[in-house]
Structure 1
Amino acid sequence: MPRSQTTQTPPVAHFRRSDDPDWHWLESRDDPQVKAFLRAANRESDAFFAPLKALEDALYDGHLARRELKVTGLPTTLERFRYWSETAADADYPLWWRQARDGDTAPELLLDLEARSQAHDFLELGDMAISSDEQWLAWTEDASGNEYFDLYLKRLPDGEPQRLRRRIGPDLVWAEDNRTLLFTRYDATQRPASVWLLRPEDDHCQKIFEEADVEFWVGLGKTRSRQWLVLETASKDTSECHLIPATAPRTAPACVRPRETGVEYTLEHRDDVFYVLHNRDGSHFRLDTAPVSQSDSWTPLVPHREDVTLEGVDAFSWGVVVTERDHHEAQVYLRVIERSEADPARNAAGAGGLPGSRLPLPEAPCSLALGDTPDFHTRKLLLREESFTLPVRWVEHDLDSGEQRVLKTQPLYGDLQPDDLVCRRLWAEGHDGERIPVSVVARADRLGQVPMPTLLYGYGAYGEVLDPWFSIARLELLSRGVAFAVAHVRGGGDRGEPWYLAGKLEHKENSFRDFLAARQALVAEGIADPERIAAYGASAGGLLVGASLNLEPEAFCAAVLDVPFVDVLRTMENPDLPLTTAEYTEWGNPDEPAVRRRIRDYSPLDNLTAQPYPSVLLQGSWHDSRVPYWEPAKLYARMTELDSARGPVLLRTDMAAGHGGASGRFKAWRDNARQDAFILWALGRDAV
C-alpha cells in the first residue's frame, strides 16, 4: 500500500523541526518528544500491520507447531557433575541443572532464569562460570538490553544469589584456586578496557590490567589445560595476549609477544608447549608452537597456505584441532593433529607434509564446529553440524575408531522436512570479475521450476562468516513458495581472510556491489522473479542493504533493515559513542579527509535522494548501545520526507530491548512472524 494511498498523516509531519532538517534532535534521549515520536511511528506501523494480523498469527502458530517447545540441552560433564539446561514448553528462559556423574543423586537446580525474568521486561545471560571445585556459580546478566551486566555469585547447590558488582562487562573466568574470579569493566565509551580480580570471600577487588589504547578491547579466557588465564586485548586487526598462571591469579600478567600493528594472534596450551595461531607472516594465518619457557619464540607447525585460512585452534592432551576455511569452496573444516604430528621436535627436524587430517563433512556446504568439550583428555570430540537443509545436530566423533554417533538432533514437525528442501550454491560475477558465492534454499519441488519470490540476506563486515544455518521460522517462508538466498559478499569471512580484507576500509564498496551482483545472478539463473526480490540486513547488514538501495533502488520490491548501521559518517565522527574508536580499523577514521570523503560517499543516510525506493521496514531498539535507536529513526524520517518510495516506509522501535532484539523466545518469535508477514506481503504471498 503506497503511502500516497493511506489516509493517515505520517508522524514525521507532526514532529518536523525546521531548524533541524537532518533530524539530529532524535539523538537527545532525554527529550520527551523523542519517545513521543517513536511511539507515534509504532502506532503508524501497527495500523499497517492490522490487516496482516491473520497472516502474522498463522506464521507464528505454524512456527510453534514445527518445533519442540520443551527443550533439554545436551549435558556437559566436568569433574564431578553433569550440567544441562531445560526450557519448559511455555517458558521463555531455561533452568540450569546438574547431577553427579554417577547419577546416584537427585538433580540440583542451579539457576532459574525463567523466575529471574519475571521482574524484568528484558533479561540476557552474559556468561556463566563454575569454579573448578564445582562449589561456586558466578554469572552476569543484563536486565535492560544496554549490554551493561551485573555480576552474581551463588554457593552450590542452593545458596542465595548475591549481587557483587553492577554495570560491568559480560566475561567471567575462575582461577584454579577456587577463590578468585576475574571480570572486565567498561570505560566511559562502554569499551571493555580493564580486568579486575575479585575474591568474593572478603570482597577484595583490584584492577590487574588496563588497556589504554581506545581502539583495543579486553577479553578473558582460560586454556583447556586449565593452567593459564589468558587476557587478550585486540583491535579489529591487531592483538596481544597476556598470561597469568591459573593457580596463582595474583601473579602479574606476562605479555606473550608485544603487539605489532596488523598482527593478530591467539594461543592454546598443552604440556610445556603453546600453540600460536597468527598472521605475522601471511594474511591467511599459520599455526606455530612455542615453548612455555620462551613464549615469543615461534616455530611453524601448520604452514601458511594461499587457499586456506586458519580460523581457530583447540588443544587437548593428545594434540590439537584446527579450524580452517577453504577459500575455493567457502567451506569450513576441522583438522585433527595428533600428538606425534604436533611434536615441536618434529618441526625442528624439518618433517615435510601437512600434519593431521580433516574430519568428514555431513554435506556441503554446511557448518561444522567443535562443541563444548571441556575435558582436556577426551578422545571423543563433540561436533555441532547444520546446514540450510539439515537441522542442528550434535555428533560424537571417536578419534580411535573413526566412528560417529549422533547424540541429539533438533526435532522437526510438520509437512516440510529436510528431504523436501534443496540447497544450491551459485557463483555471481562481481563488478570487477570476482566470483561471489550465493547460497539458495527452497522447496525441492519449486526450485528451478519457475522464477520464485526471493528473500536475499546479507551482512558483509568484520570478517563474520555466514556459514549455512537451519531456521525453523524460515520454513514458513519456504512452505509458501519463497526462496531464501544468502549473498556471501566481501567484507565477510566466507572465503577466508582475503575475502574480509577485500570488503573493508577503502574496499568497502565491493560489499554493496557484490550484494547487487548476487541479486542479478539469482535472476539470471532463473531462480528469482526480478519483480519480487526482498532484501534483509541487520546491524552492519543494514548498512549493506541501505547502501545497495541507494545504488539501485529498483533492484528490490522491499527491504527489512533491522537495527541498521546507517548513519556511518556521523557515528564515526563521535568518539564518545560506544564502539566508535574501536571501529576505526573497520571503516576508517574520518579525521583523515580522504577517509571522511570515502565514508560520506556510501553512508546510507548521507546518500538519500528522491529515488523510487522499495517498501521498507526499519526496526530499532531503545536500549541498543551498538546501533542507537536514532539511526533507523532518522532514516525513516528522511525517507518519509522524500516521499519517493514505491511503498510504505515503516519504523518499529522496541522500547524494552537492545541490539539483539527481544530476549524472551516467544516475543522474539512473535517479532519474527510480524517481520515475515511484511516480507510475504511485499512478495505477493500474503494469503493466509
Structure 2
Amino acid sequence: MQDNKNVQWPEVSAPIAATYPYKRQIHGDTVVDNYYWMIDYFKKGPRSEAVINYLNEENAYTTAMLKDTESFQEDLFREMKSRIKEKDVSVPYFKNGYYYYSRTEEGYQYFKFCRRKGSLDADEELLLDIDNLAEGYAYYTAKGFSISPDNRLLAFSVDTVSRREYTIYIKNLESGEIYPDRIANTEGTAIWGNDNQTLFYTAKNPVTLLSEKIMRHSLGTDVSADVCVYEERDNTNYIAVGKSKNGKYIIISSESTLSSEIWLLDADLPNDDFKVFQPRRNDVLYTVVPLEDRFLILTNDEAINFRVMQCPLDKTGLEHWTTFLAHRPDVLVSDIEEFKSFLAIAERKDGLTQLAIYNLGSQEQHYLDFGEVAYTVYPGINVEYNTESLRYGYTSLVTPSSVYEYNMRDRSKVLLKQQEVLGGYDRTAYKTERIYASVRDGVKVPISLVYKKGAKLDGTAPLLQYAYGSYGASMDPSFSSNRLSLLDRGFIYALAHIRGGEEMGRQWYEDGKMMHKMNTFNDFVDCGRHLIEQGYTSPAHLYAQGGSAGGLLMGVVANIAAAQYHGIIAQVPFVDVVNTMLDETIPLTTNEYDEWGNPNVSDAYFYMKSYSPYENIEPKEYPNMLVTTGLHDSQVQYFEPAKWVAKLRTAKTGKSVLLLKTDMDYGHGGASGRFDYLKEIALEYAFLFKLEGIDH
C-alpha cells in the first residue's frame, strides 16, 4: 500500500482487547472466537462493565489520534451548518380541510409541526413543539403524525433511546391534553379507524424487536386490554398497518424478501375481522392499491420486474386478477401513487428513476422529462385522493432537493420549493457524469460521479467511492450540501450502483444476494479499479465508505482489496455475519434469512463464512480505517464493529491507523438533531483530509 508521506500521527498506543476463547461448532466446523465476550453488555452478561471500558478506551484512542484535527473538525461543522437555512418551512400539504407543514427556527435542533385551516392565510395551529419536547434528552425522535378523520386528535410516537422502539401518544388538538393512553414498544405508526376512537398499531417483540402483532386500541381503555387483530407466525416477515388514500380500508401487509400477503378491513367497521386479499405464495410479492371501482395489484407473479393487475372490489383472489399493465423486461415498476382520475407510476429504466402518468379515463400514458444524465425523481407527499395535482421530488448530484407540483391533466408544473444553500451555491461550478465499469463477469455497472470543475483527472485527485448494495435498496444520485466540503477541497465523489440494489431492475438485486452475494463486493472493487484505470484517482488517493450492510461491504473490501484503497470509513458495519445470523435473539436476525441465507443450513453457512469480514481477517497491511457505531444500535449491534476492530488490531501489519468511535448515546441512525449529526460527518471528513494532508 502506498502512503502519503506528509501525514503524521501521534505516538499513542492502541487499546488491546482482552481475549476469552469461545468455541462455535456447527456443520462439523469449529471456530474459536476470542472476542465473543463483547456481546455481554447487550446480553447483560458478566463482562458488561469490561465492554463499556473497552469502548471508552477506543474512543479515547480515536480522540488522541485525531487531536490535531479538532479545530478543523469545528471549522468543518460550522462550514456545513452555515449552508443550512435554520429558519425554514416545509412545503404545506392539504388533507381533509387543513394545510399541514413543519417549520424550523434559528438555533433549534428540531421542529414545530403545524397546520392552518382551509387557507395558508388562516391562523397557525401549533400541534407539536418537538424542540420543547426534546429538551433534556440526548436523543429524541418524534414521528408517525396521524390525524383522526374528524381532525380533533393527533397520534404521534417518540423514541428517546435510538433503538426504534416507539411509544405512541394521543393529543387532543382542541384542549391540548395528552391522553393517558400510552402505547409502548411499537413500530411508531398509529392508524385511525373512521370512528375516531379506534387505533391500529404494530407491536414489537421486546427482545428480537421483530414486528409480530397488529393490535387494536380503543381510546380511553387500558392498553393491556388491546386486541390482537393479526399475529405473524413467520419470523422472516415484517408486518405493518396503514390506511388507503381514499380512506376506505385499513391495510395490513406482511412481507419478506420473497413473499407477501395483504389483509383488508373496512375502515368504517374497525371492530370487524380483517380478510385476506390473496393468501401468500412462495416467491410472489404483491401490494394492493384501492381505487373507486377496483383494486390494482402490483406484483412480481410471472413478472420479475413487476406488472400491474386488477380485480373487482368483491373478488380479490388470484383467479380474478387480470392484466392492467403488462410486464416489461427492461422496466421495473416500483410504486403506484393513486388518485381519483390518475395514477403516477414510479419506474426504473437503465438505472434511472422515471415517472409515468396514467389517465384512468382516457387510458393514455405519458412520461415526465428531466434532462440530466444522473438524477433521482420520486413521488412526494400526496395524501389527497381527489386531486389532479401530483407532488414529486427531484434531485441530482448538482441539483438541490426540489419539490414540484405537476398538473396531470394539462401537464404544467410549478417549482414549489428548492433546498436553499446559504452562502451561495453555483451548480455550474460542478460537473456530474455517469460512466460504466465492466466488471469481472462482463456486466456493466453504472457509476455516478460529481466533482468541482477544474479537478485534476490525472490520477492524483482524492476520490471517495460510496455504495450500499443490499436489500434491493437503490442508491440514487442526490444532492448534499455537506458534500460540498469534500468537492471544494478537490475530492471526487463516486456513487457505485452495484448489484444487490435494484438500480438496474429486480434481477440486479437477485444477482447480489444470498449465494450470489460476492457479486456485490466484486462489483465495488472492480468499479474502484475502473476509476483508477480511467485516471480519476489512484490507490494512494482512493477511499471507500459504506454503512450498515454497506459497512459489511467495507469489511469485505478491506479483506479482498486492501492494496487498492488508502482509507475506508465503515459506519455501523454489519461485519460479524455468521455469528449474528446464528443468534435468533439478536434483533431482526430471522427477518434477514432471505437476504443472506440461514447459516443453520450448511451451504449458506459456509458461503457466508467465506466472505464475512470478521471470519476472514488475516495478517497483512490493511487500509487506514475509521469505524463508527452506536451503543444502542438495534439494527447492527455495537459488538460487531467492536469485535472486528479488536481482531484487526492483532492481525494487521504496517503503519495504517485503525480507529473505532462508539457513540454512547445514539443508535443506528446517529444523532437525532438536525445539526448534531454534522459533527459525525466532520469527524469522517477530517479523517479523510488528514490522510490527504489537507488541514483547512
Alignment of 1:553-632 (within 5 A): 553-632=562-641
Residue 34 (structure 1) aligns with? 51
- Counterparts of 1:53 and 1:152, CA distance in 2: 41
Q: 1:4 to 1:402 in 2, by over 3 A?
A: closer
Alignment of 1:422-571 (within 5 A): 422-446=431-455, 448=457, 451-571=460-580
Which of 301, 306, 324 does residue 301 from structure 1 map onto? Answer: 324
How does the TM-score come out when normalised to structure 1? 0.95
Which letter maps to 2:250?
Answer: L
3-state secondary structure, aligned to 1:460: coil
Q: 1:411 to 1:496 in 2, by over 3 A?
A: same
How does the TM-score come out when normalised to structure 2? 0.94
CA contact (8 A) 2:97 2:118 kept: yes
2:227 aligned with 1:206: yes
Which letter maps to 2:204?
Answer: Y
2:258 aligned with 1:237: yes
Which of 639, 643, 659 does residue 650 from structure 1 map onto? Answer: 659
- Counterparts of 2:362 and 2:508, CA distance in 1: 30
Residue 352 (structure 1) aligns with? none
CA contact (8 A) 2:531 2:537 kept: yes
CA contact (8 A) 2:462 2:491 kept: yes
2:333 aligned with 1:310: yes
Alignment of 1:363-442 (within 5 A): 363-414=372-423, 416-442=425-451
Q: 1:293 to 1:61 in 2, by over 3 A?
A: same
Q: 1:392 to 1:103 in 2, by over 3 A?
A: closer
Residue 98 (structure 1) aligns with? 115
CA contact (8 A) 2:12 2:65 kept: no
The Cα of 1:63 is off from its aligned counterpart by 0.9
Residue 274 (structure 2) aligns with? 253
Residue 174 (structure 1) aligns with? 192
The Cα of 1:319 is off from its aligned counterpart by 2.6
3-state secondary structure, aligned to 2:144: strand
The Cα of 1:559 is off from its aligned counterpart by 0.3
Which letter maps to 1:308?
Answer: V
Which of 119, 124, 132 does residue 115 from structure 1 map onto? Answer: 132
3-state secondary structure, aligned to 1:425: strand
Q: 1:21 to 1:462 in 2, by over 3 A?
A: closer
- Counterparts of 2:73 and 2:592, CA distance in 1: 37
Which of 68, 72, 88 does residue 89 from structure 2 map onto? Answer: 72
Which letter maps to 1:520?
Answer: R
The Cα of 1:647 is off from its aligned counterpart by 1.4
CA deviation profile, 1:190-229 (whole Å, cap 9, x unmatched): 1111101111134462111101111111111111111111
CA deviation profile, 1:264-299 (whole Å, cap 9, x unmatched): 000111112101000011211000111111112211
2:9 aligned with 1:9: no
- Counterparts of 1:683 and 1:497, CA distance in 2: 39
- Counterparts of 1:603 and 1:416, CA distance in 2: 42
3-state secondary structure, aligned to 1:171: strand
The Cα of 1:102 is off from its aligned counterpart by 3.0
Alignment of 1:257-406 (within 5 A): 257-296=278-317, 297-326=320-349, 329-341=350-362, 356-406=365-415
Which letter maps to 2:56?
Answer: R
Which of 17, 35, 53 does residue 23 from structure 1 map onto? Answer: 35
The Cα of 1:6 is off from its aligned counterpart by 4.7
The Cα of 1:21 is off from its aligned counterpart by 5.5
Which letter maps to 2:38?
Answer: L
- Counterparts of 2:454 and 2:197, CA distance in 1: 60
Residue 80 (structure 2) aligns with? 63
- Counterparts of 1:64 and 1:511, CA distance in 2: 34
CA deviation profile, 1:234-266 (whole Å, cap 9, x unmatched): 111110000011111111111111101110000
Residue 633 (structure 1) aligns with? 642
3-state secondary structure, aligned to 2:279: coil
CA contact (8 A) 1:614 1:646 kept: no
Residue 149 (structure 1) aligns with? 166
CA deviation profile, 1:79-98 (whole Å, cap 9, x unmatched): 22111111112111111111
Residue 687 (structure 1) aligns with? 695
Q: 1:287 to 1:565 in 2, by over 3 A?
A: same
CA contact (8 A) 1:110 1:157 kept: no
CA contact (8 A) 1:533 1:683 kept: no
Structure 2: tracts of 5 or more residues without a match: 23-31
Which letter maps to 1:7?
Answer: E
Which of 225, 232, 236 does residue 215 from structure 1 map onto? Answer: 236
- Counterparts of 2:184 and 2:639, CA distance in 1: 26
CA deviation profile, 1:361-386 (whole Å, cap 9, x unmatched): 25232111111111111111111110
The Cα of 1:171 is off from its aligned counterpart by 2.2
The Cα of 1:332 is off from its aligned counterpart by 0.8
- Counterparts of 1:650 and 1:232, CA distance in 2: 42
The Cα of 1:133 is off from its aligned counterpart by 1.2
More divergent stretch after superposition (416-425 vs 386-395): 416-425
- Counterparts of 1:442 and 1:267, CA distance in 2: 42
CA contact (8 A) 1:393 1:410 kept: yes
| CA RMSD across the alignment | 1.8
The Cα of 1:54 is off from its aligned counterpart by 2.2
The Cα of 1:634 is off from its aligned counterpart by 0.7
Which letter maps to 1:379?
Answer: E
3-state secondary structure, aligned to 2:626: strand
Q: 1:18 to 1:233 in 2, by over 3 A?
A: closer
3-state secondary structure, aligned to 2:57: helix
More divergent stretch after superposition (257-266 vs 642-651): 642-651
2:72 aligned with 1:49: no
CA contact (8 A) 2:621 2:652 kept: no
CA deviation profile, 1:447-474 (whole Å, cap 9, x unmatched): 6466411000010000001111111110
The Cα of 1:360 is off from its aligned counterpart by 1.8
- Counterparts of 1:205 and 1:9, CA distance in 2: 56
Matched residues, number: 672
The Cα of 1:399 is off from its aligned counterpart by 1.8
CA contact (8 A) 2:74 2:682 kept: yes
CA deviation profile, 1:546-588 (whole Å, cap 9, x unmatched): 1011111111000000000000010011111111111110000
3-state secondary structure, aligned to 1:233: strand
3-state secondary structure, aligned to 1:542: helix
Q: 1:5 to 1:375 in 2, by over 3 A?
A: closer
3-state secondary structure, aligned to 1:554: helix
Residue 86 (structure 1) aligns with? 103
Structure 1: tracts of 5 or more residues without a match: 343-354
Which letter maps to 1:223?
Answer: S
CA deviation profile, 1:593-644 (whole Å, cap 9, x unmatched): 1111000000000000012101100101011111000011011111111142
CA contact (8 A) 2:539 2:563 kept: no
Aligned-pair identity (%):
29
Which letter maps to 2:268?
Answer: T
The Cα of 1:18 is off from its aligned counterpart by 6.6
3-state secondary structure, aligned to 1:43: helix
CA contact (8 A) 1:26 1:634 kept: yes
The Cα of 1:592 is off from its aligned counterpart by 1.1
Residue 27 (structure 2) aligns with? none
CA contact (8 A) 1:99 1:106 kept: yes
